[in-house]
Amino acid sequence: MPKPILVLNAGSSSIKFGLFDTADTWAGHLFAGEVADIGDKPHLTVKDMDSKIILDRSWPLPRKQEDILQDILGWTDERAGTDGLAAIGHRIVHGGSQFIAPVRLDQETIDQLSRLTPMAPLHQEACLVPVRALLSLRPNLMQIGCFDTAFHSALKPPVSRFALPRSYEESGIRRYGFHGLSYEFIAGRLKEISPALAGKRTVVAHLGSGASLCAMRNGRSLDTTMGFTPLDGLMMGTRCGTIDPGILLYLLRERGMSAEDLEQLLYHKSGLLGVSGISSEMRALLSSSDRRAAEAVELFAFEVAKAICTMALTLEGLDCLVFTGGIGEHAAKVRAMVCNRLHWMGLELDPQANNVDADVISLDSSSVETRVIRTSEETSIARQVVPFVLSEKRTNSI
């Protein structure tokens, strides 16, 4: 049996992971798992590809990420057998201008990626912690970094440019875009569904605790809402999204906020949580009778619809709209609120299809084909790791 690939998608409070087959160049998903609430009461769940739970374990107290990794490795060792893993693939949020393709991770590369932390303070170090730990735990095991920014690396001016002096752009301040591993997966699914569909002018709405949009055609990113950092663009669970920079200057000068206070406000206290004062979770807001919850959801839907129009400008039209991510895949009410604002564009929603999260949720008469597609960043990572595994195998056989 070929050695499997372990994929790790690490966040600040959770680690998603998957075990993938490498029998061919198109990795097959074997198991999917997640450790949630690492900093509170960690909960480990593993499911097979039929969504059957095969492992469910909880701990009453917070655990170090290194200990969580040991638990995951212990479980994968049981599944991988005596031959062990072929490689571990990691989601790395920011690759900057340098890392536009998957790369083998060593200490030098990790140090280079760590220097990008100020551009993604909420995510970058969370991604790198397991890489560092595994260098110690499994020093001979190949680790591959796959980048959320890479899918957008071909963006060119004017899309990639901010209206700042050119010297700043030359030093690396530009639009990078994020959620690229998710968008890469969706681009692949569109091609699998139909080559003609992949060629359409498409906006993909990745809506979750982090949210962004991507304008794509023929599998290429042409525009995206996130910019230099994952703070830009749509409002999110706790992030504000695009904001008048004058507000930030005002808070610094007139309210006496420090840079650290401002970072906490923008990353952790804004978005759905800030507007509602109740929760950052869309599910909780949709089930709430509080007026503030409804107002937060309304603002979110408005911002998504407005951003879709912006992406359509880049595409010079809109043929296909795809919803993905936790909210995009499961919140029918949010999808309806967004689509109803776009009726003037010729988008006609099928309410019955939308309510059951059908693959296609637009009417046949709609000028914009609207779909719901479940994303898998872990699958994108595994597919990027497979060539490294095959290359290593060929080298060792010579």
**Which CATH number does the domain housing residue 102 bear?**
3.30.420.40
Calculate mean pLDDT across residues 297-321.
98
Q: Single out the residue in 92, 122, 147 at which a domain terminates.
A: 147
The answer as to whether 395 is a domain residue is: no
Q: What is the mean pLDDT of residues 316-342?
A: 98
> What are 369-381's pLDDT values in tens digits?
999 999 999 999 9
**Domain check: are 141 and 235 in the same one?**
no
Q: Is the link from the previous residue into 4 a cis peptide, with omega within 30 of 0?
A: no
Q: Is the pLDDT of residue 106 over 80?
A: yes
Q: Verify that 249 and 333 share a domain, yes or no.
A: yes
Same domain, 97 and 198: no
pLDDT at position 3, please? 87
Q: What was the pLDDT predicted at 13?
A: 75
- Average pLDDT over every residue of 57-64: 85
Per residue in 28-55, pLDDT (tens digit) is: 788 999 998 887 888 999 999 888 999 9
Region 372-391: mean pLDDT is 93
Give me the domain span that covers residue 340.
Answer: 193-372
Per cent of the chain over pLDDT 70 is 97
Residues 258 and 314 in one domain: yes
Q: Quick one: 131 and 237 in the same domain?
A: no
Q: For residues 209 and 338, state if they share a domain.
A: yes
Mean pLDDT (whole number) for 121-144:
93
Please tell me whether residues 329 and 256 are part of one structural domain: yes
Q: Which of 89, 121, 147 is the last residue of a domain?
A: 147
- pLDDT score for 356: 98
Domain count, the chain: 2
318: confidence class by pLDDT, cuts 50, 70, 90: very high
Is residue 27 pLDDT above 90, yes or no?
no
Burial class of 365 by CB neighbour count within 10 A (0 to 12, 13 to 18, 19+): exposed
What pLDDT is attached to residue 59?
A: 87
At residue 60, the pLDDT reads 85
Q: What integer is the mean pLDDT of 302-322?
A: 98
What pLDDT is recorded for position 82? 60
Domain co-membership, 242 together with 365? yes
Check residue 397 and give its pLDDT: 63
Residue 216 placed within a domain: yes
Q: What digits encode the pLDDT tens for the residues 1-13? A: 678 999 999 887 7
Residue 86 banded pLDDT, cuts 50, 70, 90:
very high
| Per-residue pLDDT tens over the stretch 218-264 | 999 999 999 999 999 999 999 999 999 999 999 999 999 999 999 99
Where among 115, 131, 147 does a domain terminate? 147
Taking only the tens place, the pLDDT of each residue in 182-221 is: 999 999 999 999 999 999 999 999 999 999 999 999 999 9
C-alpha to C-alpha distances, 356 to 183, 329, 330, 333, 360, nearest whole angstrom: 23, 10, 9, 11, 10
Query: Could you tell me if 252 and 346 lie in one domain?
Result: yes
Q: Are residues 82 and 229 in the same domain?
A: no
> Is position 168 within any domain?
no
Assess whether pLDDT exceeds 80 at residue 167: yes
- pLDDT higher than 80, residue 395: no
Average pLDDT across the chain, whole number: 93
Is 197 inside any structural domain? Answer: yes
Which of 21, 148, 223, 232 is labelled catalytic? 148
Q: Is 148 labeled as catalytic in the residue annotation?
A: yes
- Beta-carbon contacts of 253 under 8 Å, excluding residues fewer than 6 positions away, are none
In this prediction, residue 83 carries a pLDDT of 73
Residue 87 lies inside a defined structural domain of this protein: yes
The pLDDT assigned to 44 comes to 92
Residue 162 lies in a domain: no
User: What pLDDT does residue 159 have?
Assistant: 97
Residue 100 lies in a domain: yes
Q: How confident is the model at residue 168 (pLDDT cuts 50, 70, 90)?
A: very high
User: Mean pLDDT throughout 127-155?
Assistant: 95
Distance (Å, whole) CA 121 – CA 216? 27
Residue 145 pLDDT = 98
Q: Which of 265, 178, 188, 268 is nearest to 225 (CA)?
A: 178
Q: Has residue 336 got a pLDDT over 60? A: yes
Confidence band (pLDDT; 50, 70, 90) for 398? low
Asked if residue 339 and residue 246 are part of one domain, the reply reads: yes
Query: What pLDDT sits at residue 89?
Result: 97
25 has pLDDT over 60: no
Asked whether residue 391 is domain-assigned, the answer is no
User: Does residue 210 share a domain with residue 61?
Assistant: no
Task: Give the separation between CA 223 and CA 156, rounded to whole angstroms.
Answer: 9
Q: What pLDDT score was predicted for residue 237?
A: 96
